[in-house]
Amino acid sequence: MRTQLLVLTLFISALANTVQAKTSANEIREAATSFLEAFAATQAEKGYQVTFETGSIDSRISLAPCSAPLAVEFTGDPWKSDHPSVQVACSGERPWRMFVTTSVSINGPALVAARPLGRGERVTSGMLKTRSVVVNASRRGIITDANLVEGMVIRRPVNAGSAITPDLLEAPDAVSRGDHVIITARNGFFSVRSRGKALASASVGDQILVENLASSRTVRANVTAPGHVEIPM
């Protein structure tokens, strides 16, 4: 009888410990929420307002106990998605991990078009203004410094109030088709200059065909500055 009571007592004790030791859905939710609160606080110091919600977690979930603090991290870039997921993981003796869906909104200043902008227009400061936008709603990124885009060219029409994103801009042509240019043939410290005519339009860093006006030969050259191209010797 005593043996049976001892076995029953040990069984009940083990069962109780097992139930108590499980990692619950509430603990996982609290870990994810604490992580997002810390993220929001960090961004607030930089001038961004972050609001968030965690997705639902099945209350019946029951994972192995974790002997170490739960680790939480984004599985993607929260600045490029308003529904990033977070990974909650245990690195203890019985490691596990699970993913929690979230809804994250990051609001902050960004450059937008002050008026409708047409393709080919060169950007000036008067064409832009700053307003608060949902930064992570656009996967194309935002721009906050007008000095970085002044002088750039609009690639396609932009509506008034639309955020200015990097893909809407391109560098202006340093050389236009038909322009007379200076051709520099360089070999180490030695160089020779001649005059030529550009056979295409291009920006700095692009490669184009240029006609050497002295020899009438066509050469391939790199655009190095407005009105200047260079070929290796």
pLDDT tens for each residue of the chain, 233 residues long: 444 433 344 344 444 444 445 889 999 999 999 999 999 999 999 999 999 999 989 888 888 998 889 999 999 899 989 999 999 999 888 899 999 999 999 999 999 999 999 999 999 989 999 999 999 988 888 899 999 899 899 999 999 999 999 999 988 888 999 999 999 998 877 889 999 999 999 988 899 999 999 999 999 999 999 999 999 87
Q: Minimal CA–CA distance to 220: which of 232, 208, 204, 212? A: 208
Q: What per-residue confidence (pLDDT) applies to 21?
A: 57
Cut 0.75: pTM above it: no
CATH 2.30.30.760 applies to domain 180-232: yes
- How many angstroms separate the CA atoms of 166 and 80, rounded? 14
CATH for 107-170 is 3.90.1210.10
Query: DSSP per residue over the chain, as a string?
Result: -HHHHHHHHHHHHHHHHHHHHSEEHHHHHHHHHHHHHHHHHHHHTTT-EEEEEEPP--TT-EE---SSPPEEEESS-TTS-SS-EEEEEE-SSS-EEEEEEEEEEEEEEEEEESS-B-TTPBP-GGGEEEEEEEGGG-TT-----GGGTTT-EESS-B-TTPBP-GGGEEPPPSB-TT-EEEEEEEETTEEEEEEEEESS-B-TT-EEEEEETTT--EEEEEEEETTEEEEE-
Which residue ranges make up each domain of the chain?
13-106, 107-170, 180-232
* Amino acid 60: pLDDT: 85
pLDDT value of residue 12: 41
